[in-house]
Structures are given as structure tokens and as C-alpha cells.
Structure 1
Amino acid sequence: MSLVRVVFVAALALGIAACGWQLRGAGGGGFEGVPVAIEGDVGNRFRDRLAERLRDLDAVVVNDAIDARAVINIMAVSSRRRTVATDADGLASEYELRYRIRFSLEAGGKAGPEQATLARQTVRSSASFAANDDLQGRDAEEESLRRDLQDDALQLLLSRIGRRL
């Protein structure tokens, strides 16, 4: 009976691999060797983080859209905190952080006629955290969570763009 299970699992794995299925985020998308420019009115920290993630995927980050095959246009980046629970005294006991990136993908100067584009899209990530009486501890936790949410949102953005390249 265990041989039947082994054969079944092997056949299932082979079937999944043959159809091209992969875990979300497991592939690097189509960034390898692609010159990509980043445009938009965003802070240097965000731009640097996006450029770093693109380089990790083997993209060539260029400064000018003329030199790019694809241009990532960042229209807005925002982060919000809201109270989601209060205690008996009406003080916040839990917060929710939301992170949002609005972007589009446009053809750059080195794009071919088949270069895919993406209309304006938004990616979001969110998480909750407990309020802490220690203001410095709460601020540090919030900042760490905000960086994690930014990473999650960037992963979603790059996943969408990578499928189009």
C-alpha cells in the first residue's frame, strides 16, 4: 500500500511540474537582463529599495526611460495607521497598518513593439499589532512592521510586472 502512495505522490508532483505551476514568488519573473527605469515622485528610500529588489531579480536599473525597455511609474505610496480595538477606558489596544503602492508599467525607449504595459494598478498589504504602553517600543514595532509591509507590497508589484515582461 505504501508503494501505491509513493507512486501517486510522484505522479502528482510530475503532473504539477509538467504544467508549469510554481509557488507564488518562487520565480524571478522576466527581469533577467531587462533595463528598467523607475519614475515617479517618491522618496529616495523607496526608490533605492525598489531598485535593490530589481537588481536582486537580475534587472539592469537605469536612470533614464530612454535607456529602459520597461518603465515602472510609481504614482503614489502611502502608509496609514488606524485603531481597530480599544480597551475599557477607550484607549487603543490594537492598531492596523496599511501600506499601498499605486503604479503602472510603461514601455521605455528600448522597448520592442511587443513590450507589455500595465494600466494603473494598486497593491496593498496590511497587518495588525498590539498597542504598547511603551511609546518607544510601539514606535519601533510599528516601523519594523511598516518595512515588512513595504517589502510585501513590493513583492506583489514585482510579481505583477514580472509576469508582463
Structure 2
Amino acid sequence: MAVGRLALAVALALVVAACGWQLRGAGGGGFEGVPVAIGGSIDNRFSNRLAERLRGLDATVVEQAADARVVIEILEASSRRRTVATDADGFASEYELRYQIRFSLRAGGRAGPDQATFSSQTVRTSASYPADPGNLQGRDAEEEDLRRDLRDDALQLLLSRVGRRL
């Protein structure tokens, strides 16, 4: 009985794999071989990280919009910290860090007539962390690590939205 179920499961998996079906998000989101340019007034670290993530999805990152099928235009990337909890003396005991990227997708010079575009969209990520008034350097280092993680999470959300349009 168990062997029959196992054989059925294997046969079903082979049929599904043979027809090209895959889990949503499992295939890199349609970036394979797509020439992509990055635009906007962003710093080099952000631009380099986005280009690195695109290459990881097998996109071809190009310098000029004329050479791209799509252009990811970064309109704004920012982070903000706010106090979410205070202790009995009124000092911060917990902070929330928010990171957001506002972007648009436009057709590049190598786009086909059916290339999808979209106007401004925003992705946001956030996380909380404890404030330790006795360890300012440790808190600052933890905040910087968290900011980097939130940026990477926001980039993943951005790439997921863009990948669905390719």
C-alpha cells in the first residue's frame, strides 16, 4: 500500500516537472537573460547591491537604458528610526527601523511592444530592536546590521514585483 502511494507521488512529480510547472517564485521571476538597466539618483552601494541581486537571478545588467529591455528606476530609498517603547524614566527601550524603496519600471531601448511597465510603487520593511542605553556602540552596530537586512528584504520585494511583470 505504501509502495503504491510512493509510486503515485513520484509519477505525479514527474508529470508536473515535465510540463514545466514550478512553484511560484522558484524560477527567478523571469529575469533569465533579460537586459536590465538601473536608473535613479541612488548611492553606489545600493546600486551595486541591486545589480548583484539581478545577476544572481541571471539578468544581464547593462549601463544604458538604450541597451536594456527594462529600466528599474529607483526614485527613493530611505530608512527611518522611531521609538516604539520607553522605560519608566522616559528613555527609549525599543526602536523600530523602517526601510522603504520607491521605484518604477519603464521600457528600455530593447523592449518589445508588449513590455509591461508601471509607475511609482513602494515596498516597505520594518523591524524592532531593543535599546541599550549603556551600550551605544553595540546598539549602533546592531542598527546598521538591521538596516542592511531590511534593505535586502526590500530589494527582494522589489525584484519580486518586477519579475512578475517580465
TM-score, normalized by the shorter chain, greater than 0.5: yes
Taking every aligned residue pair, what percent have the same amino acid on both sides?
69
TM-score where L is the length of structure 1:
0.88
Q: Which amino acid aligns with 1:54?
A: L
Partner Cα separation in structure 2 for residue 98 and residue 20 of structure 1: 36
How has the CA–CA distance of structure 1 residues 10 and 75 changed in structure 2, closer, same or farther, with 3 Å as cutoff? same
Query: What is the aligned-residue RMSD (CA, Å)?
Result: 2.4
Q: Which amino acid aligns with 2:157?
A: L
- State the match for 2:83 in structure 1: 83
Partner Cα separation in structure 2 for residue 143 and residue 96 of structure 1: 13
- State the match for 1:126 in structure 2: 126
- State the match for 1:31 in structure 2: 31
Deviation at 1:16, TM superposition (A): 8.8
- State the match for 1:161 in structure 2: 162
Deviation at 1:119, TM superposition (A): 1.9
Deviation at 1:118, TM superposition (A): 1.8
1:11-53 deviation line (CA, Å, top 9, x unaligned): 9x859988946255x3301111111000001111100100110
- State the match for 1:64 in structure 2: 64
Partner Cα separation in structure 2 for residue 125 and residue 102 of structure 1: 12
Total equivalences in the alignment: 162
Correspondences of 1:46-57 after superposition (within 5 Å):
46-57=46-57
Deviation at 1:114, TM superposition (A): 1.1
In the TM superposition, structure 1's runs of 4+ consecutive aligned residues that sit over 3 Å from their partners are 13-21
Deviation at 1:10, TM superposition (A): 3.9
- State the match for 1:22 in structure 2: 23
- Unaligned regions of 5+ residues in structure 1, if any? none
TM-score where L is the length of structure 2:
0.88
Partner Cα separation in structure 2 for residue 151 and residue 69 of structure 1: 24
Partner Cα separation in structure 2 for residue 21 and residue 57 of structure 1: 16
1:98-150 deviation line (CA, Å, top 9, x unaligned): 00000011000000101111221100000000001201000000000000000
Q: Which amino acid aligns with 1:155?
A: Q
